[in-house]
Structure formats: C-alpha cells, structure tokens
Structure 1
Amino acid sequence: MKNNFLGFFLFFLAAVAFAQVDQVSVLQNDEGAKLVINGEDFMINGMNWDYFPIGTNFSYSLWKQSDDVIKAALDAEMGLLKNMNVNAIRQYTGVPSKWIEYIFKEYGIYTLLNHSFGRYGLTIDGAWEAVTDYSDPRTQELLLSEMDDLVKNYKNTPGLLMYLLGNENNYGLFWAGAETEDFPDDEEEKKFIGEQRGRPMYRLMNDAAIKIKAVDSSHPVAICNGDVLFIDIISEECKEVDVYGVNMYRGVSFGDAFEVVKEKLNKPIMFTEFGADAFNAIENTEDQRTQAYYLVGNWKEIYENAAGQGKAGNSIGGFTFQFSDGWWKFGQTKNLDIHDKNASWANGGYSIDLEEGKNNMNEEWFGICAKGPTNERGLYELYPRAAYYALSEVHKLNPHAKGVTPELVEAHFENIKLKDAETKTH
C-alpha cells in the first residue's frame, strides 16, 4: 500500500510539472506559418532585453547579484515591458530558470532562450579559442554536450518560448569579437568562407536541433543568422531547424526578406534583432522621432506578413533591438561611464543621418529607453523614448485576432502618430 501511494504521489508531481510547461509549436497551412502556444495563435511582440548598469560591460551579470536586487530590477523593467504590450524577451543562457518562470508568472512575458553557440569563442582543452572552428571534432563534442545541459536545465521551465542557437554567427566567421564592423564586399571571399567555415557550422546547428528536440518536444528550435547571408547553405544543412531567426538592419523596410525566406527555406521568419539608434550622426544629437519612424515601419511589415494577412504569410514576430542603451558597446572595455557618440559602422538603409564616406550607426544609442545613473544597490531607472510609446500602440494589435484584415492593419499603423509619441517623453 505504501509503495502504491508513493508511486501515485510521484506520478502526481510529474503530472503537475508537465502541466506547467506550455506546448509551443510551429503550424504551417495554406494561410502561412504561425507560432502556436497551447492551441492559441501567438504573435511575438518581443524585445531584446539585458541589464547592464552604466560603468559595466559584458562581464557584468545581473544573475550574480542578490535575489532582492534581481527582483527589483525585474519588477521595474518587466513592468515597463508589460505596459507596452511586449509578450516575449530574448535572453542569453545563464539566466536561472527560476527567473524565467518569475518573469512569466508575474508579467506574462515569455523568454526566447539564446545559446551563443560559439559566436564569441570557446575554451577547448583548457585553451581559449577566439575564433570557433565548427569542423573541429572537439568543438562539435563541446557544443553538443552543452545542448544536453541546455535542455536538462530548461525544458520544464514555465515561460520558455523556444531555443535560439547563435547570434549572427555567420558574421562571426569573418571577424572575431562582439563589436560590429563593416562587412567585406568581395563575393568570392564570402563564398569561400561560406563553404569552408559556414557549412560545418550550419550542419552542427542542425545536429544540435535534433539533439534538443529528441529531449524536448514542447519547444521549437531556431537559429539566429545575420540577414540572409548563406541562406542556400542553410536550406541544405538546417532541415531540422524549426524557425529562421534573423538579425536584420535594412532601414525602414526589410525589402524582399519575407519572400526570400519563404522561397529558399519554407520556414517561418522571426526577427531576432532589428532596430535603429536614437542618435543623429549628422546633427550630433539625440533623435527620438527618427528612431520611432524606423521601428514602426519595421513592425508594420512584420504584421503585414503574418499568416492570413495576404502577403508572404511566414512572419511570426520579432524582437526589437533593444530595450535600453548599452553604454559599453563602443570600445567594449573603455569609457564605460561615457555615453559615446561615435558611430562605428555605416548602413545605407538609415539614410536620414547618412553622409557619404562616414559612419552613421551609433551602437550605444539603440535603446528605446535611455538609462539613468546607477544607485548604491546597482540599480538604475529607465526613461522611455518616443519609440517606447509608439511601439506601445503598435503592440495593441494582434494580427491573428478574429476579424483582423490587411485593411485593418493598414489603418492601425496610419493612426500611430510619431509626434504624439514624442510628446509623451516630455
């Protein structure tokens, strides 16, 4: 009798744990591709989120602070995100599962869990390798073992949306480190790198997806690619990946991205990063309205290309880059207390502040919120910019809601006034 009771009790606990885990899946039909959670269509109104007080850089971790500091930081920022109708954030591995669950249960916000997959180097046999060689058997063994740990640690976490592998790792095949650089123009060089270094990487990503899904069938697996570079190789090597995640900075329009991904991959597209800085490189001053202009234009296309809206039908949403300014992004390890105004790369898609021969992308100004000084507890306040208020209006619309038509989407965006959003910042 005692053994039967123990067996029933353990079964009950397992059933409760299982019931807490959302069933997230990708559904494709004649209308297009959708993300579905527990049978309900879900459009990702996401945000790239992190927590770096002024004076810190990539070496800082919120998760190494005391629980009361972590909770205070999350309550302040997740409250702001919930108020702007954000339903998912992108976070890197290292966040304890209990805080993913806390964010979800307290604020209804899911986490896209991102494993960098060797993007910034690896320690192999005790030695640091700055550039990851994905054809190296030791690298393959290490990364696939990390996938085992990833699934074991997170698969039953309430609030987990899906797994994301990499962060524009195809760009990392050309340069080492996290700081953005201008991209090489030579097509032959790109093709050579794609075959010699890219193909082994994408093949390993596919192996990782297979390994993850064998253990966790409740959450899709995505990769994070830089734009559509090497998409033909991806189509050949990443057949078991569920979602094409992409970092894309093309200005106010993504151009033909939706159609290219549909034709080449026939997978849903999820914008893991996109955005605009809030600084005008020509005027050398903050420019909130222009940032909001680019972001609203991007989200309009994301909604227009959702399933059932008459266009490509493969958009499942995206993650705006980013919630708050990163004062460490330019230089990485120096001038951490200075909000640097140097533009580190050029992008013709952002023509409003582009001058020929000069850079116009200000890495430390991509936040839709400005960052205040750090207090004695290591916390800070955020000051929403016009983009915050504009996106709050954007995310009031659910393109999957009953009765939402392309005409309604068009009218929704026409009614978003950037001047009104800018007024709210004063």
Structure 2
Amino acid sequence: MGVTGWLCFSSALAALVAGAAQGDCTAQGPNRCPSTSGTSWLQMKGIARRSQVGGQEEPEFFPVHGGVDKSCAGPSTMSATDSSKETVERSLEDCKNRCLATPSCKGLDWSGSRCRVWTQHISGSLHRSGSTCLRLVPDVSVLQNFVAVNGGHGQSCRGKHAFDKEAAYYTASAAGSLEECKAACVQHPECQGISFASSGSCEIWTRPEGIEATAEDDGSVCLKVPTETTTSTAPPTEPTTTSRSKWKDWEVFWGMNCWKHHGADEFDIDPLRGQYTLQECQEACLQEPECQGVVMPQSDEHASKKTCWLRKNVHKEKCRQGHPFNFWLRPGVQLQRAGPASEAACCASFESWPNTDKVQCSGCMALVEAEPFGGRCDKYCESFGHVCYQAAEEVNENCAVKFTSRCDVAITGTSDMLCTCRHPQSMDEPKCDWPEPEPLPPTPSPDACCRNPSQWPSVDNGVTCDDCMALVVTAPYGNRCDKYCESFDHVCVAAAEEQNENCEIQYTKRCDEPIEGTSDMLCKCVKKNAPPFCPAPPAPPAPTPEPTPSPDARIQVVGKQLLVDGKPLHLKGVAWNPVPKGGRHPQDLDFARFVEEDSQIMQSMGINAVRTYEPITDTWILDTLWRRGIWVVNSVYNWGGASARDAANPVKAVKDHPAILMWSIGNEWNYNGLYVGSSFFDCIAKIRDVAKVVREFDTSHPISSIYGDTGKLDQAAQALPEIDVWGINSYRGISFGGLFDEFARITDKPMYLGEYGADAYNAKINSEDRESQARATKELTEEILSKSSVSNRGSCIGGFVFEFNDEWHKDNDGSPDDHDTGGVAPGGGPYPDRTFNEEWWGLVTIDREIRPAGREYAKTPIPGVEKLVA
C-alpha cells in the first residue's frame, strides 16, 4: 500500500517542511536529497492516515467544505481539465492512492468510479450530488505550526496597518473549520497566512510583504505561516527549542487547559510564584529547555498580571477544551501526538476474556454473548475483574457499532453485544489515555415534556402527532399557537399549517404569528418547566440588523414594471453557463475563462442581461459584462442541502456592483425539489428563509424565484410574498399558449421567462436542424415582446433564451468530450420534435460559432430603453 513521492513547497511555507524532509532523505544515504535552491521538497510515504515516520507525520486528506456532495474547484482562471487528470478507480481508497502516487497531487474528486486527481491547488468547491472533494496535506504536522498574529484570536489580518485591507491581498472562500482554512493555505503556493472568521469565511493572504498588522474582530483569528528561525536540534524524544522569540510568534490554543494527567506534565514549582504578564510567563518558559508552552487564565492577557503555569510533554488531544484558560505553544515546538495506550496496558489479553462470540476488536472491545449477563456490559466486564467503558450493539456480527448505550443499561433483542472493558485505574497512575465516555442524556418519559396530546383542548378530529404536537382548531385562539398553548399552561415550541387534515407540515410560522385562511393549525406545546431534553421554546428573535442599502438605489419594481432610474427596462437576456468541452457542471464552470469572448458576442447580438445558475462573485467578471451593457440576474441559492445563510455570501460580495440587476433563488424548484427532493411546501419554507437572508443584507435589488411553468404557482405566489418578480421556465413548443394570461390571473407581480427556446437537434430527422431552432427563437421572442410591460401590454419584463452556448456534459449516458444526443428535462418539449436534446441548446456552439438562432435573436429589438450603463 505504500508509495513514495516528492511534493514541492515554496515561499514561506518551505520553512514548515524543509527540516523534516531533509532529515528523512539524508537517512537513506548521501546524494538522496534534492539540492535545488529556493524550493523545499518533502518526501512522503505511506497511505493517508495519521502516524509518524521518523518524527514526520504522513499525508492526510481534508474534506473541502465538508467534502460530501462537493466537487473541487480550482483558480477561476483555470478549468478542471487544466488542473486535474481523470482516471477510473474502484474505490475512494484507490483514488487516494492514485493521488499519493502522483507527485504533484493537491487533492481529489471522487464520484462513483471517476477519480479526478488535482495537480493545481484547490481553491474551493461546488455542489455536486454524489461527489467527494478532498484536499491533500502532505505533512499534517504543518498545521500545528501556524503563528498567531498579535494574539491571533479576536484579530482580523491586515497589511501595513489596521485599516490596510485590499482585495488584492487575499482570496476569500468558505471553510468548515480553522483546520480546513489552514489546509487551504498550505496548498496555496503564495500563502502568507490566514484570517478565519467564525462565520466560516477563510481569507488566504498572499500579500508579498506578508501580514504586518491586525484589526480587532471578536469573531476572527489571524495566523501566519512561520518564517525560518534559529533553532537548536534536540534528540527526537525532546522538543525542538527556538531562540528568543517575540510574544506574538507563540501560537495560542483558545480555551485549552493542560495539566497533570490531562495532556501535560508539570514542573517542580507549579504554578510559578507571583503574578506575570503573558510576555514574562513566556520568557520564563524560554529559560527551561523542556518547557513546551504556558497556561494562563483568560482575560486581557497583554495588560494584567496573572498566574503562570509552565508545561512539558504536552499532548494536545488529551488537554481539556472549553476551559477559561489559554495554552500558548512555544515557537518551534512540534507537539507529540499520543495514540491510545496499548491494549496490554488497558485490559487483559482477549484469550482470557469469557463468553466471546469469536469477534475481537481494537481498543479492548469484543463481541460477547448477551444472555449470561442480562444484556449488560457492566456485568460482563465485572465477571473477569474489569470495568466497563462502553456498551454497544453491533451492525452484523462485526465490530461496526450500530448504537451505543450506558454500561448499566441492558441491550435487548440480540444474542450478542459489543463490550469495551479495561483494567480499573487510579487517577494518579492512569494506564489508558482514552477519555471517559460522555454520559447519555436521560430517556424522557412520555409525559415528561407535555400533557398527553389526546387530553389537549380543541383538538380537531382527534388528530395528534408525535413529539407534543396536535392539529387544533384556530378560531378560539386568534389563529395563534402561542395563545393556544397558554390556554392549558404550556408554551409554544412550533406552529405550522398542515397539508391535509394530518400531521404533514405545509409551511411553518412563528408561534406568535397568526396562521390565516385556515380552520385548523398544527401546534407543538411543552410544559413551562420541561426538562432540557424536551423540545425547547424558540429563543426571542435577535434584533434584525439594519440592512445595508446599496449606494446604487436605482432599481425598483413598480406595478408590472422593472424600473431603472425611473425608466422601464425590458430584458433581452440569455442563460449563461460556460462549461468547456470535456468539463462538467458545476466543477468546471468557468465564467472568468469565457467572459471576454462571450460578452463580445452577446453585445453584438444586443443582449442586455445574463442569468446564471451559480453566483458570480468575481468583480472583474462583472466589470467585463457591465462594460458591454449587460446586467446580471445573479443566482444566490439553488441546492436545498445548503443553509439559507449561505445566500448571504454572494449578496455581501457583489451587492454594490452596478451590474447586479436582481437576485434569483432556485431553478424550476417545483420540479426538482431544490435538487434534494424536498416537498413542494418544504421548498417554499426554504425559499422564504433565503429571501429573508438576502433582504437582511440588501434592500436595493429585487428578489426573483424561478419556477417551472405555472402548475401550483398560485400556492407558491400566495405563500411567498417575499418574491418581487417571478421567473418562469416554459417549453410549450413554438408558442407560449395561454401562459401570460394564466400568470396574470395568479398574481399582479411582474414576470420574466427564466428559460425558453428550442434546441438545434431534431429527433424527427435525427440530425441538426438549425433552421427550426432559429424559427422558434424568433417567434417565441416576438411573443414575449407582445406582452412587454414596457409597452404596457402585459406583465412580462423580458426573457432569457436557453442558452448562450452548447454544453456537452448534459447527456448522462454520453461523454463530456462528445456532442451527444439525449438527456431529459421537465416540460412539454421544444419545437419541432417535442424532444429535449440537452447538449444542443446554444445560440452558439461550444466553439462559439454563431448559429442562425443567434442571428435571429440579434435582430430582435428592445422596447423602450435599449441599454442602460453607468
């Protein structure tokens, strides 16, 4: 399973790995180490798991943005085909080994049997169901050596001074943890350090002069990669010490406390006598060769004097987190990583364990017979002089844990159970370094949380639900669940409208909000002093921050019109999703690569707007579009598996750019359930949440949602007053039929065609049919013009032809390198064959040859204001 390769690190990161690499290769004999100046090389061995070889940790894979259902994305100027190599592998482990065997590997994409090995740094990820994105860190110990800047926590990185922060200094992305942000920095060839915020924002700082200052920010931490320091080499079992350092070069572990039997050893005098400033405490540590760090109480560590503890033989993973102390790691020290004690130290050999069921597991755990011990692991362990550490039910006669239980609770309904047993031990002489298991929450009794719902007042037709919820009549309580729950001395936890006189939720409301237009409602009520494991009443809503208005308050929805600077605008738009030949959506979507050429062609066609399926957050791309008079309907949320709060990121990034016309939420979500199969009403609830997040940060742009045709649109429009403009995707052939009249009967708000048109392949003749595509484009666009709100003929503000360019990845049975026929899509079907050929929709081909449909579209006039630019 082992492989050997060389990975290159440059700039400041070289200092992190040079020592380990040099020591490893010299051990193999002379002339085994590269001698290239200016670059450090790290030899890596083995498979991707945490262990140490010769003092150097082996490589490890880190999930990017959670990893699951994520596809890796590289720099915006480079496509996946430029940055990666695709192979076929049997498993994710095989894909990892393929990456480890590739000298320049930076990470991998895994989807089914497809393994894409990335050879350029991975800058982020895009959503793709079934994919896994992992970033490779060749030596995970590198992550331990980042240095706090000005204390690190409560600081946001800056350039020369506290007000010096320019976009060119850093690249911003999202990260699920501080460690993930560090891993992204390690992989970036020019990274100088990171600024990580509790919101998940990760700034990779690449300013050539480095990070020279910070600004106070309670939710952030600023760390830099350490520069080379003067070190003295010690034997492998002793810490590496560093020459006199400034206090700001020490790495802080916020809320971590280390002491005897809890991750560290003490010195003879503990704590030091007297009170110390942080710098004085650190200076005392530097005087002790064995000292690896200091512990001090939290508070204003730079001003007040406090107690100082010196620590040695530190094992970070055994220290206690969440304490009112901070641990400061001495510069140059690499903490030892302590694995579990050997089984011999913790428990008797398995041969002496009674009643085992022929399955032995690591960590003093075995599958044992349940019946002789009443299904209790504590009784089993006591039978041979041990104590129970954990009890569990196995999955299938193996060591996989199905669920865990307390040691003194019987595991019933099974003939065997997984018991973890160890020797009794005292606090002063611990034999095992595993932490004590977390106690399980108490099992609630049926009436612990609420009165039996069958005894509640005003229950409608006896409909009661699990978890303290029932369907109740609305009239006596003003349609409010808080008033209902108070009527029998309970408090409201949740309120909802039901779907069909049952427990299925159509949409939710706050407890103090009336649920209008219904005779009954679902209320969840609990006792006022219910135990903590019961459903909790909602916290009072936090004060909503004042939305930040855009300085360009140009855009308004008035009646059925979209006004810009008081003048109505008609959208002659196109759906734009530039995936290159051989690429796939969304991981290879590359706005930056195509914007220059594509926007020139769009301008020549008179196109004044684009609609996207992923957000554009690069202002340079928006600058290029705006320079050619092209507005952007910017997608902020499509995938229902993401948090509604994620919509805040693209809004905050570009809300002040003049090219932004409006935001869009979802894409024909009534068909696809926000791409996660959510129910119709669950989609409505999520879209409402997203719209509120958007409005929290921007009041200057309309919000639109893109719907598939008009089925059940009346219910969506009624439930979503937050939507200012509706986008409709419609494929009804060569005419929209009664679409515009149907929409007008549903709502008075304006609409646009989010997608319309025809593909260029005719299944009736099994060949390309450019003329039919051109005819459909012409006639459908003219029909939109006949209903334009600019001309006061209807409520339509324009439309977006689907689409600008062909995409060759859309037939799932084909190859992204070939122009295939096939694919599926919802709707009646395009002219002339009523068949969706998904790779043939472009007004231009994938090579940017303009089809006749593009030339017909170019002839189409724009009513009213033809173009609005800054």
Aligned to 1:109: 630
**Cα distance in 1 between the residues matched to 2:826 and 2:566:** 43
Contact 2:733–2:832 (Cα < 8 Å) also in 1 = no
Aligned to 1:184: none
- How far is 1:349 from its partner? 5.1
Contact 1:306–1:316 (Cα < 8 Å) also in 2 = yes
Q: Given residue 61 of structure 1, which amino acid in structure 2 is its aligned partner?
A: L
SS of the residue corresponding to residue 667 of structure 2 reads coil
Q: Structure 1, residues 82-120: CA drift from partner, whole Å, max 9, x if none?
A: 01000010123442231343134421111110134325x
SS of the residue corresponding to residue 832 of structure 2 reads helix
- How far is 1:398 from its partner? 2.6
**Cα distance in 2 between the residues matched to 1:20 and 1:265:** 30
Which of the two has greater helix per residue?
A: 1
- How far is 1:262 from its partner? 1.4
Q: Structure 1, residues 152-171: CA drift from partner, whole Å, max 9, x if none?
A: 22211220010000011111
**Cα distance in 2 between the residues matched to 1:239 and 1:77:** 36
Task: Tell me if 1:84 matches 2:605.
Answer: yes
Task: Tell me if 1:331 matches 2:812.
Answer: yes
Q: Which of 737, 740, 758 in structure 2 is aligned with 1:276?
A: 758
SS of the residue corresponding to residue 658 of structure 2 reads coil
Aligned to 1:322: 803
**Cα distance in 1 between the residues matched to 2:865 and 2:552:** 24
**Cα distance in 1 between the residues matched to 2:790 and 2:630:** 25
Structure 2 matches for 1:360-375, cutoff 5 A?
Answer: 360-372=835-847
Q: Structure 1, residues 373-423: CA drift from partner, whole Å, max 9, x if none?
A: xxxxxxxxx1000001000001xx232359xxxxxxxxxxxxxxxxxxxxx
Aligned to 1:55: 582
Q: Structure 1, residues 262-286: CA drift from partner, whole Å, max 9, x if none?
A: 1112111111111110011111111
Which of the two has greater strand per residue?
A: 2
Q: Structure 1, residues 342-396: CA drift from partner, whole Å, max 9, x if none?
A: 3646965545335xxxxx2211100111122xxxxxxxxx1000001000001xx
Structure 2 matches for 1:65-76, cutoff 5 A?
Answer: 70=592, 73-76=594-597
- How far is 1:206 from its partner? 2.6
% identity of equivalent residues: 28
Aligned to 1:340: 820
User: Unaligned regions of 5+ residues in structure 2, if any?
Assistant: 1-547
Aligned to 1:383: 849
**Cα distance in 1 between the residues matched to 2:669 and 2:828:** 22
- How far is 1:149 from its partner? 2.2
Aligned to 2:651: 151
Structure 2 matches for 1:342-421, cutoff 5 A?
Answer: 342=822, 344=824, 350=830, 352-353=832-833, 360-372=835-847, 382-394=848-860, 397-400=861-864
Q: Given residue 647 of structure 2, which amino acid in structure 1 is its aligned partner?
A: M
Q: Which of 782, 789, 797 in structure 2 is aligned with 1:307?
A: 789
> In terms of mean alpha carbon deviation, does 228-237 or 96-105 score higher?
96-105
Q: Which of 225, 240, 248 in structure 1 is aligned with 2:730?
A: 248
Q: Structure 1, residues 29-72: CA drift from partner, whole Å, max 9, x if none?
A: xxxx1111122221011011121111111121325xxxxxx36x
Pick closer, same or farther for the CA change 1:344–1:231 going to 2, 3 Å: closer
**Cα distance in 2 between the residues matched to 1:48 and 1:308:** 21
Q: Given residue 260 of structure 1, which amino acid in structure 2 is its aligned partner?
A: E
Contact 1:100–1:111 (Cα < 8 Å) also in 2 = no
**Cα distance in 2 between the residues matched to 1:110 and 1:327:** 26
> In terms of mean alpha carbon deviation, does 218-227 or 297-306 score higher?
297-306
Aligned to 2:522: none
Aligned to 1:376: none
Contact 2:580–2:589 (Cα < 8 Å) also in 1 = no
- How far is 1:176 from its partner? 5.5
Aligned to 2:663: 163
Q: Which of 669, 691, 704 in structure 2 is aligned with 1:209?
A: 691
**Cα distance in 2 between the residues matched to 1:152 and 1:301:** 37
Contact 2:574–2:610 (Cα < 8 Å) also in 1 = yes
Q: Given residue 628 of structure 2, which amino acid in structure 1 is its aligned partner?
A: Y
Pick closer, same or farther for the CA change 1:366–1:22 going to 2, 3 Å: farther
**Cα distance in 1 between the residues matched to 2:656 and 2:719:** 28
Contact 1:34–1:41 (Cα < 8 Å) also in 2 = yes
Q: Given residue 583 of structure 2, which amino acid in structure 1 is its aligned partner?
A: T
Pick closer, same or farther for the CA change 1:94–1:163 going to 2, 3 Å: closer
**Cα distance in 2 between the residues matched to 1:343 and 1:290:** 19
SS of the residue corresponding to residue 74 of structure 1 reads helix
SS of the residue corresponding to residue 811 of structure 2 reads coil
Contact 1:117–1:166 (Cα < 8 Å) also in 2 = yes
**Cα distance in 2 between the residues matched to 1:293 and 1:369:** 15
Aligned to 1:38: 565
Contact 1:20–1:158 (Cα < 8 Å) also in 2 = no
Q: Given residue 21 of structure 1, which amino acid in structure 2 is its aligned partner?
A: D
Contact 1:26–1:36 (Cα < 8 Å) also in 2 = yes
**Cα distance in 1 between the residues matched to 2:627 and 2:789:** 30
**Cα distance in 2 between the residues matched to 1:19 and 1:201:** 28
Aligned to 2:430: none
Contact 2:616–2:650 (Cα < 8 Å) also in 1 = no
SS of the residue corresponding to residue 581 of structure 2 reads coil
Pick closer, same or farther for the CA change 1:348–1:105 going to 2, 3 Å: closer
**Cα distance in 1 between the residues matched to 2:751 and 2:827:** 22
Q: Given residue 859 of structure 2, which amino acid in structure 1 is its aligned partner?
A: E
Q: Given residue 167 of structure 1, which amino acid in structure 2 is its aligned partner?
A: N
Q: Given residue 62 of structure 1, which amino acid in structure 2 is its aligned partner?
A: D
**Cα distance in 1 between the residues matched to 2:859 and 2:552:** 30
**Cα distance in 2 between the residues matched to 1:210 and 1:347:** 30
Q: Which has the higher contact order (CA 8 A, sep 6+)?
A: 1
**Cα distance in 2 between the residues matched to 1:94 and 1:19:** 18
SS of the residue corresponding to residue 353 of structure 1 reads coil
Q: Structure 1, residues 239-273: CA drift from partner, whole Å, max 9, x if none?
A: 12100111111111111111121111211111111
Q: Given residue 306 of structure 1, which amino acid in structure 2 is its aligned partner?
A: S
- How far is 1:174 from its partner? 9.7
**Cα distance in 2 between the residues matched to 1:107 and 1:390:** 20
> What is the TM-score of this pair, normalised by structure 2?
0.35
SS of the residue corresponding to residue 362 of structure 1 reads coil
Q: Given residue 850 of structure 2, which amino acid in structure 1 is its aligned partner?
A: P
Contact 1:347–1:361 (Cα < 8 Å) also in 2 = no
Q: Given residue 863 of structure 2, which amino acid in structure 1 is its aligned partner?
A: P
Which of the two has higher C-alpha Rg? 2
SS of the residue corresponding to residue 370 of structure 1 reads coil
